[in-house]
Each structure stands twice: as structure tokens, then as C-alpha cells.
Structure 1
């Protein structure tokens, strides 16, 4: 006790005493009550050491959190901040492991306590971190605390791994699998509807070859899918999602394998400097435990590996790699064609309004200072040759394939009908259970009876809907083929060309059929001979070769007509390329390829024929040349008025060709004809006709010829045209013949 008295100075008693309380998990907080009570009792020890009750601060925000890190322990962070500010005289904990099980956090706290003269106390005594012996002892305790955590974790992890190595560690199973009573026993779900739904996923994938198409088939048939979020939770039937279908296809548990350690937790520092954790999936070679044929599965392991290879091939491939699911484009060799010059994967492209397919190699070379593709060829002739070779290969099996197609159609409908029959059976059970609940309740307890009655009515409504849907689908089910129909189908199977080009066979189906036999096609183009050499590698290793004639190049006699070229030469002196394109389109002119002009086409045409582009003159003529809209703003009138005056010939306008925009040169003489107030001697049109004794049209003609002066009043209530009429005007009729 004397040692404690020497270490506890009056300066320590003037500051607060912090009691830190922590349990590692919520289960310990709930069940290990004795340890929690012992930690709260440290507040009484602080008062026994000389601190008052008001000075004792209990920090218990970290209950249920591990001491392996201080990342999420707000209580420990608050206490460390108070120590750094010098507000803490002593820190009390039941043992060092309660404060920290990480040496980095522990020694950081020791350094702060040493700088601020803060004591640390546990069940064994009080320590001053400024003293060497006390600091050495605290350091050893911190090291032992971290080692203890490692040992405990190693023991638990070793036991888990040893049990997992025997395939007996019970972990979460996917929907459709349940644990049995024996150690490590895994069985199929006892619910027949759940088993049928999962089995349908694998059956549809075998036929369709894509997880997305399986998902679309479920949505098209309006089928539900079982969902179980946690072990022991009741199965819920919901609309399937793509991730649910893909997870079924990718999970090895469905193939009868027991797996442990398929993922690994990694720590990393993000861009903000915060330590975070992430889950990384490991390849099969790095799984900690892998036991094949551990239990009964929906598929065997060979089928599972084939499904994974097919799923991997459906992913968008990296550059120069094979793969990718079939798309809607008409290029049949998408993902199969290889360049015969550099062995890169060929890419597909489509040209023109008809979307003609083509293939090109992304490996570019330099020719004449320009980058050109290693290979660039149209796909019509190549696809036709591949189709012919494929049909020749499958012709012996054409009859059998035609019959199997009809049988497969029946099987598809039967699979959907089986799911709907199970749905009706499940809805019938739910309605009966709701009825039993309703009849078991006391009729006088209306609060409960009303709720159970509503549930019963809901399940009855769902049962009625399921029965109606099942009846509709049974009526729409294709009937079994008769002998006559089967004979006609066999006759149709002989004409594979007709079947291949049938409008009901989609391009996606044609591509999928090609991939069943073809592995890759090497395309080598010989431009000089207008020929392409194809090397077909079939599945199984067989090679066949064929040559395809390519179309001749289009003759180079196509050129723009001379009339259009002459017009472009004249317009280029006054307008930009975009304006010239608008003028040519307004006149209905087309390019050499029959296209409407745009700025790029006009620019290419001008550069090809070395026509200089428009440049404003260095010395401008008198007056500024403006468009109609710009001139209207400059003269303070409406554009429609200027258009009318230009058409009537009152003012001069410039138009290089028909369809070109009008332009007006703004001079002082023109500005003087637009006034705000009517000058003296100028009268309105009606007064001018009366004074001159002529018609309005005659007056306008004289103004156009310059025999009469006219101005336009822009403002005021009397806006409009004003004519200057003097008394010495000559008689107009004396000039007539």
C-alpha cells in the first residue's frame, strides 16, 4: 500500500480516474455477467485510492467489441484523447487485455501516459509508465495479451479446419440443400417444389447455355423461385433474380462437393488512408478443403465443370481472347474468327442502313503514313461459306434433330407445367393451414379472428389464381405429334437449307448451333486474288479448309458532277462549309454516293479538288455585308419587312445561287431610308395615290425605279412606308407610247 501511496501524487488526484470496461462479444456480455460486474467494481477501487465519486468516469461504450484493433472502439479513442489532453490521472482496467490486444495500440497508449504522467492500474497493482521497471512489466503484459489472442485464435481455427477437413463442419448451405442428422450429412431439401425449381435451373442451362437466358425463361413462364436467407428460416417463394440463378449454377455444393475456404479476407488501406477489409474469391486450387462426391447433388462434378467453362465463355472476353455470349448481330463468326496473319481475334462491325456484317483485326500497321487494319473484310460471303460447311456436316443427323426439336418443345412445356402444378399444391396447403388456424381460434376473440380470416381469404385468392393459370397453360400445351405430323417433320428434316433460313430461327440460335460444332475459324484474306482462305477447326480436332471469292472493288469512276463542283467553287468564295452544305441540300443535290451533304463531305470535296476555303477579304468594300436577320437588327425593323423589300426590289440584295441566303450591304444611303419620324413632304401611300392620280402598284413601281423617294418609319403609331410627293411631279401618262 505504501508503494501505491508513493506512485499516486496529489497531481494525479486532481485529475479524473477512467475505468475502462470491455467484453469481446455480445454473447460474453449476455452470459459472462460475473466478469462484467468485476469490471464495474473498479469504480469503487478508484474511490478507495483517493478519487472522489465525481472524478470517476466509466467508459463502457466498447462492450461487445474485440480488442484486436482500435478501429471501431469509440470508447478507447475517447479515453486516449483525454489522456493526450492531460485530463486523466489514472486508467483502471481488470487486466491489460481489456485495454488492448494489439501492441501498436498498447504502446501508443503507454507513450501518451508517459508524456502526460498518467498512471495505469489493474488487478495486480498501479504502474507509472515513466518508471523503467513498470514500463517493462506493462510491455511484457501487452505482448502476452497479444500472444494469448493469437493462441486462442489458432486453437479455434485449428479445430474448425480439422472438422472441415472431415467434411463435418456445418456452415450455411444454399437453397435446396439441408443438413442431415449424422455428422457431415448433406441432403436434398425435403420440399419437392424446391428440388424441382433448382433442378429446372440446371436443365434449362443445359439447353440455353446462358444464365441470363435461364433467368428470362423463368420470368417469361412467370415461375417463382425459393429463397432462404438464413439456416432455419422458412422458404419464401419470390420472383427469381439473375444473381439467384447465377449463384445456383456457380455453387459447387449443388454438384455434391464439400468446400471450405473458398474466400479470403484481406486488409487494405483505401484512398483516404482508412484500414478496410474485403473478401476475395480464391481459385479452386487454393481452397482449404475440397471433398468431391461428399453428398448427393443435383448434378455430377463433370457437368459442374462444363457449366463453369460455359459461364466463363459467356463473359465479355479481354482483348485477343476467345469467349463471349452470342449476341443479336448477324455476324455468325462472332467470337470464333481468328486473323490468319497475326492470330488475333477478329472483331465484328456493321455498315450501312442494312447493317451488313464484316470482320476486322484490331492490329494496325502503317501504310503510306496511315494506320490500316491488318484485316478488314465483309462477312456476307464468309458467313455463307461457313453455313454451307456446317449444313454439310450436320446433314446426316438432320432427321433425328428435327424429331428431337418437336420432343424438346413438349419437354419445355412439361417443365413449366410441373412447376405450376407444384405451385398449386403449395397454395392449397397454405390455404388449408390458414383455415385450420382460423377454426382453432376462439370466435369471440375478434381481434385475432379478423386477422386470421384475412390471411385465409388471401391464401384462397392465391390458390384460385394459381389454378386458373395452370388451367390456361394446360390448354395451351402443344399436343403430341401424330404419325402423319411426324412423317412431315422427317421430310422437312431433309431440307436443312430451308430450316436454317426459316424466319422463326433467330440469329442467336444460328450462332449457338455453330458453336456446338465449330471451335474457331481462321480467316486469311488475299486482296490481290480477291479471295479469302478459311480454315475451320471443328470440336474434336478435325480441320477443313475452303476458299471464298470476294467481290471486286467498286470502280473509281464515281465522282461528283461538274455542275455541283462549279457551284461549290463559287460558294466557297463567300460561305463556310456548313453554309455550303445547307445550300446544296436546299437545291436537292446529292453526293457521289447519293448522300445528303454535311460539313465534312463539303470539306472533303473541297480539299480533294483543291478548292480554297472562304476567307474574309482584307479590305472590305463600303458597307458591311450582313444576313437578313443581322440587317434587320441593325436597321431596327423586322426580317419579314426586309425580305419583302428585297423581293420588291426596293433595296439591293446579294444571292450567289438559288437557295443561298440573302445578304444585304448596310450603307449610309440604306440607313437613311429607315427613320423614326416621317420627314416633311412625305405622305402615306393612300395620300400619294390620290395626289398622283395613279394606282398603288404604279407608285410602288416608280419607287422601285428610283423615280420617287420613299422611307420606312420604324416607330410610333404611324409606322409604315412614306412617299415623297412634290408639286412639280411630271405627268406619268405623257411618257406612254
Structure 2
């Protein structure tokens, strides 16, 4: 930096920014020499003439790459200061410290040239407004970007070349360790670790669902090993679904070496900012796939079968390509054909439903067709007769395999218990090893060093407690273990096993067991319903491609034996033109009426009753006119009073109303005469009801009685402090006073 002639007085009046950056946190931690050299640029700025108070150091980008794939707040701050013409010079150790991509670098050069800002590095001071300096800065930026590309290409090429030979050492899943030779992968020497992994694959082969394997591990309290780091000890914790699924989906467990399963991409979000994402690639796009690379827990054909099985367990999206072939995982519902039944009319997969108090299963097609302007299902059928027919065909097909299936079931029960107990025995061995190690460490320490001895003694005691807990749990499980079958009991079991129908209908056989057994032989069932002949035609597609036909008779629909009584129907016909369904339901309930099934009425039941008997619904009335019949609420809104006021006048008999039936809402005929009785200001001779009681010397009951008989004239004042009922007490008929005491 010897070109002091480019520094003008205007530059010295602005700030001098020293920009610091290193590509990674490890460089910041380990490569301190580069960091110190960049901070030393502050002294160089003072030598060039900038005072200390106008020297700004921007170092918040330490540990961030300058390739442009990450957001650098320090560089953004630098760019904004340059754009505002607040910077006289920008100092950096080299161009690559400012930016390693041409987009950011040329944007900074453009802004610096427009705002007369200098750029300085270890080679000199440049003025971006000058052509030669601008050209040199552009070449330096291009070379910096090329350097990054070359370095990355060299590293990636070496990595890919080593991965293509299966020798690139990367993180291994739990259950494997690296050997001493290049690319050598060995099964973990800890028998407890390998036993858990083998148990997961064995359980999946039996249960067919990653979730059910996870639940089995949780039910038997089998711990799962976790690796926190390459050089750290394993940690045993409660099994998680993610851990079980990762074991089943990882091809390394099938003896394959894999590299490049994912692709890192940079995309623009809705704000235009760059974001990184990881996209999983299909198998045919993996960069490296070496089968039989090392000894696995399963072979490659078994791995492919497991992947296909997990794919079918995933619920497909509607109308997707997989929806036609994926049956989904077996669930707890009683519908035997859940997931494998398809509509014989449109080909869609049937959905299940349950109705009635006993939750009888049924099947319906989710695809609707338009009939008379309304959408209806193209298939909707009860599943009791269908399931019984398919179960009978399944049991008939199993006739030759009954004995073999019973023997395998008994052996499987015994092996399951043995697998669970083996894991607990290994836990006891692991706890015993921890005790022995803690004891050796305690005995090796100097007894006088009590600070260390107390800690080792505490670890020894904790290990002893863990060993005792493991032994207690093993003893409890050994005691709860059912005893093995004797030869006589096995022979009796085989005799009973011949009757597979009894086993199928046994209370201990769950609906999930039924469906799992059914799927071992039946691939798909297609239902076609013929309502005219009251039958369902079933096409069974067996494993291997064979098909079979079944015809199931359906119960014919019978006329309803119960119906709503005629009095209730007549009342509904009278109320429907005037009131909505909810109001009609309230009237019927207040009169103690019930539906044909003995239920209380609600809006839905009244609506269904109307539609069944073609009773028209209440329609909204136009704006009221003189003499129209209104509800209490509507009349109160027109007269300017509260609905409770009209209810009180109806109870006192001061105004007249009507009900279609007892319990129905009151209605009022709004006439001009009635409107004239609700005033804002009363005429002369009217007094409030309290004053009228004193003037006339009557009780309230006697006064209201004479108003009802028309002997006294009354109006209702709707505003003011003395609003309410007013009585006319002056110029009354003389006969009125003859009744006074």
C-alpha cells in the first residue's frame, strides 16, 4: 500500500473500515495468525492518515464462508455504509476475504466507484472509479472465485474417488465399527448392540410394521443404543420410532456401501434470499452403491423386501399411483378387508366405516357420482356378510397348512420370550462389567488421595446399584416367563390346532391378527354390488396372481316398522310454514312428544322428518306491513320496546296474541291500532300507572282488569324517564266512578 497519492482529504474525512472474515469456526480457533494479521490492518489505516475514532472494525463474519451461500451480516453492513458514501477506504488482507463470488464482489466495486471509495489490500490501494484499478480488482475477484472452485473440485474429486472404492470413512450407523484395513466395516463387537439390531429385523419380519416393532420394544422395555460421537461410548436409552425406522431403512445394515444418497441444493425463497436444502435422491441416482461390501445383519434381497413392505404401509395420497396398489398398515378396526378392498365400479380403494351400537363394519367408495343433482357414493355396503364370506374362503384355502402353522406358532412364542430374556441377560453382563471396571479404578488409586478416591467410590456404588437393579429385573422376567410346553402338551396343542376355525373365532384372536393372517394369502378383493339381485360379487386375487370368485347374498331392505305418529306430523305441518326447525323442535319437546325411536327432537331430526314427508320449510318473510302477524322479537323491534315488555303485556292481557299450539312461540298481529298505543309522548289526561293507582284509588289487579275490559284507555310510553304503561284518568265515563268505593 504505497499509492498514497490516491488518498484525498475527502477520503480521510470519512470512515476507514477494516473487514475481517475466516471461512470456518475451526480456522478462527486454530489459525490465529491470519486473524491477528487482519486485526493489524487497523494500524495500517492509522499510518495512512485516518484517526482512531474514524477506524471501524467489522468482525462479525468470522467463521462464515465468503462464497455467497450464507448470509453475512458484516458484509451487508459494509455494503450499506459504502452505498451511503460514509466510507473512505475499505481494508482487507486479500480480495478473497471480502467475497469469493463475483456477484457480491462486483456489487461492492460498483458501489465503491460511484461513491468515491477506495479499496486496499496487501498489494496496494485501488480506486474503483479508475479503469485500470477496476480491471485489476475484477481479475482478482475472478481468480479468488476460481481458486475456491479448484480447491472444492480437488477435494470433491478425492472424496468421490475414495468413496467409489468403498474406502471413504464416514459416520457409521449404530451396530457397526470401522476396521483397520481400508474400507473395512465390522459388526459391533458388543453382543448387546448386535442383538438389539438383529431383534429389530426379526420383529419386522414378523410384525411387518416399523411402528409395531417400536411398540414391541417399548412393551418389553428393551433399550436402544445411541452413538453420540465417533470416539464416544454408546448410550442406552428408550427406543424411539425414528431410531427403529432408521435401522430398517439404512442399506448399510444389508452389507451395502452407499455414498451420495442426498443432494444439497441452493434455492431462492419467496423473499429472494438463498436457502440451502437437502433432497433425498432415488436409488438409481445414488453416486455410489456397492452391494456385499461388508457383512450385514440381513442380505440385500431381504432389505428390498423390507423397503417395499414399509412403502405399502405408508398411506398414499388420494388418486396417486400408489393408491391402487398400497394397502397401508394393518390397523385395529374390525373391518377385515381394510386396505385391500377395491370398488368394482370405479376401481378406487374402499374406505371403512362403523355404524350402530355394535360398530358393525362397512365399506364405501370415496368417489361420488351425481344423481338427481346430488353426489352419492357409487358403492356403500355393510361388511358383516362380506367379511364372513372372505374369511370362509381363506380358511378353506388353509386346509393343507393347518398343522404346520400351529407348530410354527408355538415355536415362535417360545423364541420371542427367549429373545427378550437374552437382552436382559446381556444387560446384567454389561452392568457386571461396569462394576468390575469401577472396582479396578478404585483399587488402583492412592488411598491417601481422598479427592479422587471419593469420586471413584461413588461411581463404584452407582455401578453396584445398577447391577442389582438389572439382576432384579431379570429375575422378575424369568419368574413371569411361561414354562415350556411338554411333549404331551405339544401333542395336545397340535390336536387342537387342526381346528383352525376355532382358533380364528377365538376371543384371544384380535382383529389385527385376522387381517395379518388374511394378507399372507390374499392380495386384493374387488367388490361389485348388484342391488337389483340383492347380491355382491367378490373377486379375490391371491398371492401369486391366482383369482377366485365369490357371490354373497345381501339382505333385502325391509319397510320401516315404526313411524312418527300422525298427530306429531300434523303439528309439524302446521308449524313448518311459520317457524324454523330449531323452534319446532322446542315446541315438540315442551309438549312431551318424541320421535318414532323414542328420542327428543332437535333441529336435525325435525329437518329429516320434513324432508321425508315433503313438508316445506319456513321461508323468510318480506318487510312487515300493517296487519301482518309477527313474532315477539319482530314486533318488539317495530314498536321500539324490549321483547320482555310485550311478553308482560301478553300475560296481563293488555294486548292480544296467538299460539298455533300450546308451547309454540307467541305471535302478534301488528295493526295501526296497536301501533297507536306505543307512543313517545302521551296525550293530555294520561298518567303513569303508579300515579293512576292513587288517582283512581284502585289496586293494580283491579286497574289492569278494567284496562282489559276496555273500561280504561292505556298507552305505552317508549322513551323518557317515566316510560312504561300510562292510564287515562281524566274525562272518563261517569259510570267508571260508580264502581269506586
TM range (shorter): 0.7 to 0.9
| Correspondence for 1:14 | 13
1:362, CA displacement in angstroms?
2.6
Q: Secondary structure at the match of 1:147?
A: helix
Is the contact made by 1:531 and 1:550 (CA closer than 8 Å) also made in structure 2? Answer: yes
> Is structure 2 residue 479 aligned with structure 1 residue 462?
no
Q: Secondary structure at the match of 2:217?
A: helix
| Correspondence for 1:570 | 574
Q: Secondary structure at the match of 1:62?
A: strand
Gap change, CA 1:15 and 1:139, over 3 Å in 2: same
Task: Provide the rounded CA distance (Å) in 2 between the counterparts of 1:300 and 1:622.
Answer: 87
Q: Secondary structure at the match of 2:155?
A: helix
Gap change, CA 1:70 and 1:85, over 3 Å in 2: farther
1:202, CA displacement in angstroms?
0.8
> Is structure 2 residue 449 aligned with structure 1 residue 430?
no
Q: Secondary structure at the match of 1:21?
A: strand
| Correspondence for 2:486 | 482
Is the contact made by 1:265 and 1:277 (CA closer than 8 Å) also made in structure 2? Answer: yes
1:683, CA displacement in angstroms?
7.2
Q: Any gaps of 5 or more consecutive residues in structure 1?
A: 689-701, 710-725, 730-737
1:518 to 513, 516, 522: 522
Is the contact made by 1:357 and 1:379 (CA closer than 8 Å) also made in structure 2? Answer: yes
| Correspondence for 1:146 | 145
Is the contact made by 2:69 and 2:266 (CA closer than 8 Å) also made in structure 1? Answer: no
Could you give the per-residue CA deviations for residues 299-354 of structure 1, whole angstroms, max 9, x where no partner exists?
Answer: 11111111111111111112241321112222111111122222222222223333
| Correspondence for 2:232 | 233
| Correspondence for 1:62 | 61
| Correspondence for 1:355 | 359
Task: Provide the rounded CA distance (Å) in 1 between the counterparts of 2:589 and 2:494.
Answer: 58
> Is structure 2 residue 551 aligned with structure 1 residue 554?
no
Is the contact made by 1:575 and 1:614 (CA closer than 8 Å) also made in structure 2? Answer: yes
Is the contact made by 1:259 and 1:289 (CA closer than 8 Å) also made in structure 2? Answer: yes
Task: Provide the rounded CA distance (Å) in 2 between the counterparts of 1:152 and 1:383.
Answer: 66
Q: Secondary structure at the match of 1:342?
A: coil
Question: How do 1:486-635 and structure 2 match up within 5 A?
Answer: 486-555=490-559, 559-572=563-576, 575-587=579-591, 589-592=593-596, 596-614=600-618, 626=632
Task: Provide the rounded CA distance (Å) in 2 between the counterparts of 1:392 and 1:567.
Answer: 58
Is the contact made by 2:249 and 2:307 (CA closer than 8 Å) also made in structure 1? Answer: yes
Task: Provide the rounded CA distance (Å) in 2 between the counterparts of 1:266 and 1:291.
Answer: 25
Q: Secondary structure at the match of 1:266?
A: strand
Is the contact made by 1:26 and 1:64 (CA closer than 8 Å) also made in structure 2? Answer: yes
After TM superposition, the score normalised by the length of structure 2 is 0.84
Gap change, CA 1:624 and 1:75, over 3 Å in 2: closer
Is the contact made by 1:256 and 1:297 (CA closer than 8 Å) also made in structure 2? Answer: yes
1:35, CA displacement in angstroms?
3.6
Is the contact made by 2:631 and 2:666 (CA closer than 8 Å) also made in structure 1? Answer: no
Q: Secondary structure at the match of 1:541?
A: coil
Gap change, CA 1:552 and 1:624, over 3 Å in 2: closer
Task: Provide the rounded CA distance (Å) in 1 between the counterparts of 2:13 and 2:580.
Answer: 87
1:599, CA displacement in angstroms?
1.4
2:410 to 400, 403, 406: 406
Is the contact made by 1:520 and 1:538 (CA closer than 8 Å) also made in structure 2? Answer: yes
Gap change, CA 1:563 and 1:60, over 3 Å in 2: closer
1:290, CA displacement in angstroms?
0.5
Is the contact made by 2:17 and 2:56 (CA closer than 8 Å) also made in structure 1? Answer: yes
Task: Provide the rounded CA distance (Å) in 2 between the counterparts of 1:336 and 1:372.
Answer: 22
Moved more, 174-183 or 426-435: 426-435
Could you give the per-residue CA deviations for residues 413-464 of structure 1, whole angstroms, max 9, x where no partner exists?
Answer: 1111111111122222223333444444455555544444443333333222
| Correspondence for 1:185 | 184
1:613, CA displacement in angstroms?
4.1
> Is structure 2 residue 396 aligned with structure 1 residue 396?
no
Gap change, CA 1:27 and 1:528, over 3 Å in 2: same
Task: Provide the rounded CA distance (Å) in 1 between the counterparts of 2:471 and 2:592.
Answer: 65
| Correspondence for 2:378 | 374
Task: Provide the rounded CA distance (Å) in 1 between the counterparts of 2:109 and 2:644.
Answer: 87
Task: Provide the rounded CA distance (Å) in 2 between the counterparts of 1:682 and 1:449.
Answer: 106
Question: How do 1:109-508 and structure 2 match up within 5 A?
Answer: 109-320=108-319, 321=323, 322-323=325-326, 324-443=328-447, 446-508=450-512
1:116, CA displacement in angstroms?
1.1
Gap change, CA 1:587 and 1:213, over 3 Å in 2: farther
Gap change, CA 1:571 and 1:49, over 3 Å in 2: closer
1:243, CA displacement in angstroms?
0.6
Question: How do 1:34-49 and structure 2 match up within 5 A?
Answer: 34-49=33-48
Gap change, CA 1:120 and 1:595, over 3 Å in 2: same
Moved more, 496-505 or 422-431: 422-431
Is the contact made by 2:209 and 2:313 (CA closer than 8 Å) also made in structure 1? Answer: yes
Moved more, 399-408 or 430-439: 430-439
**What is the total number of aligned residue pairs between the two structures?**
701
| Correspondence for 1:719 | none
Gap change, CA 1:204 and 1:635, over 3 Å in 2: closer
1:36, CA displacement in angstroms?
3.7
Q: Secondary structure at the match of 1:22?
A: strand
Task: Provide the rounded CA distance (Å) in 1 between the counterparts of 2:170 and 2:473.
Answer: 38
Task: Provide the rounded CA distance (Å) in 1 between the counterparts of 2:428 and 2:578.
Answer: 80
Moved more, 269-278 or 17-26: 17-26
C-alpha RMSD of the superposition: 4.0
1:636, CA displacement in angstroms?
7.6
Gap change, CA 1:653 and 1:72, over 3 Å in 2: closer
Task: Provide the rounded CA distance (Å) in 2 between the counterparts of 1:675 and 1:191.
Answer: 100
Is the contact made by 1:524 and 1:532 (CA closer than 8 Å) also made in structure 2? Answer: yes
Task: Provide the rounded CA distance (Å) in 2 between the counterparts of 1:619 and 1:54.
Answer: 86
Task: Provide the rounded CA distance (Å) in 2 between the counterparts of 1:636 and 1:546.
Answer: 72
Task: Provide the rounded CA distance (Å) in 2 between the counterparts of 1:622 and 1:105.
Answer: 79
1:635, CA displacement in angstroms?
6.8
Could you give the per-residue CA deviations for residues 604-659 of structure 1, whole angstroms, max 9, x where no partner exists?
Answer: 433454444457796787998759xx9x986789x9x999x89xx99999665566
Task: Provide the rounded CA distance (Å) in 2 between the counterparts of 1:676 and 1:402.
Answer: 96
Task: Provide the rounded CA distance (Å) in 2 between the counterparts of 1:459 and 1:603.
Answer: 72
Is the contact made by 2:64 and 2:70 (CA closer than 8 Å) also made in structure 1? Answer: no
1:540, CA displacement in angstroms?
0.9
Task: Provide the rounded CA distance (Å) in 1 between the counterparts of 2:229 and 2:263.
Answer: 21
Gap change, CA 1:610 and 1:479, over 3 Å in 2: closer
Is the contact made by 1:654 and 1:662 (CA closer than 8 Å) also made in structure 2? Answer: yes
1:274, CA displacement in angstroms?
2.3
Is the contact made by 2:587 and 2:664 (CA closer than 8 Å) also made in structure 1? Answer: yes
Question: How do 1:673-684 and structure 2 match up within 5 A?
Answer: 679=694
